[in-house]
Amino acid sequence: MLVNNAGYGHEGVMEESSLEEMRRQFDVNVFGAVAMMKAVLPFMRQRRRGHLINITSMGGFITMPGITYYCGSKFALEGISEALGQEVKALGIAVTAVAPGSFRTDWAGRSMVRSARSIADYDAVFDPIRAAREAKSGQQLGDPDKAAVALLRLIESDAPPAHLLLGRDAVTLVRDKLNAMSADIAAWESVSRSTDH
């Protein structure tokens, strides 16, 4: 079994955030996780069993202004996890992307990298979100000890899911996103279908 938990958050409006900051975010959150999976897969494949667990985020399903690079990296890891799971299932290897909501960790505190603000046009959308995140840091709903118990249940499962949300906020926000996507698909279905031969 492998649990890929290394990662960090980058906070910053995309236009204000450098490409180098994006590369670093993806190097750690995506390329690092993939490198670890590639390192252990030959052994799991040889044994015909194993479980790869990638800690993503509800930010791999939902988005919010000011963490564009972070969400992009977690969306990427969700997609890689799901596709890899299809590649290795017949080999006895499971892949689960675990997407926590807000937990009482230091993610929003000193471990977060923040880009400097420079464009006033973004103040109205970004400043309230940054203030709310800073105020909530240390008061998040999720309990890391209970997340560990949930991971143990996942590890013991004979039929682990491809995706596992952790936290009431993650369940609510992801469900809301899926409902909104479903409504958009229905509203634009005739346009979508009009492009076929």
Domain edges within the chain: 2-193
CA pair distance 69, 87, nearest whole angstrom: 27
Strands of the sheet containing 93-100, edge to edge, are 2-4, 50-55, 93-100, 163-166
In our burial notation (b when 16+ CB lie closer than 10 A, e otherwise), range 133-152 reads beeebeebebeeeebeebbe
**Which comes out higher in pLDDT, residue 5 or 105?**
5
Catalytic residue IDs:
70
pLDDT of 173: 96
Q: Which pLDDT value is given to residue 53?
A: 98
Taking a C-beta distance cutoff of 8 angstroms, is the pair 10, 27 a contact? no
pLDDT digits (tens, 9 = 90+) for 46-84: 999 999 999 999 999 999 999 999 999 999 999 999 999
Question: How much is the average pLDDT of 178-192?
Answer: 98
**What's the topology of domain 2-193?**
Rossmann fold (3.40.50)
Contact 57, 70 (CB under 8 A): yes
pLDDT in tens, 145-170: 999 999 999 999 999 999 999 999 99
Would you tell me how many other CB atoms lie within 10 Å of the CB of residue 30?
Answer: 20
pLDDT at 132: 79
| Predicted pLDDT of residue 146 | 94
Cα 161 to the center of its chain, rounded Å:
15
Phi/psi for 64 (5° steps) reads -150, 150
Taking phi over 0 as left and psi of -120 to 50 as alpha, with beta for the rest, 12 belongs to left
- Residue 147 tokens, joined: 């997340």
Could you give the 3-state DSSP secondary structure of residue 113? Answer: strand
List, in order, residues 6 or more apart from 51 with CB less than 8 Å away. Answer: 1, 2, 93, 94, 95, 96, 155, 160
pLDDT at residue 194 above 90? yes
84-139 pLDDT, tens digit each: 999 999 999 999 999 999 877 766 567 778 999 899 999 999 988 888 777 777 67
**Coil, helix or strand for 1?**
coil
Model confidence pTM above 0.95? no
> What is the phi-psi region of residue 45: left when phi exceeds 0, alpha when psi lies from -120 to 50, beta otherwise?
alpha
Which pLDDT does position 94 carry in this prediction?
Answer: 98
Q: What is the pLDDT of residue 109?
A: 63
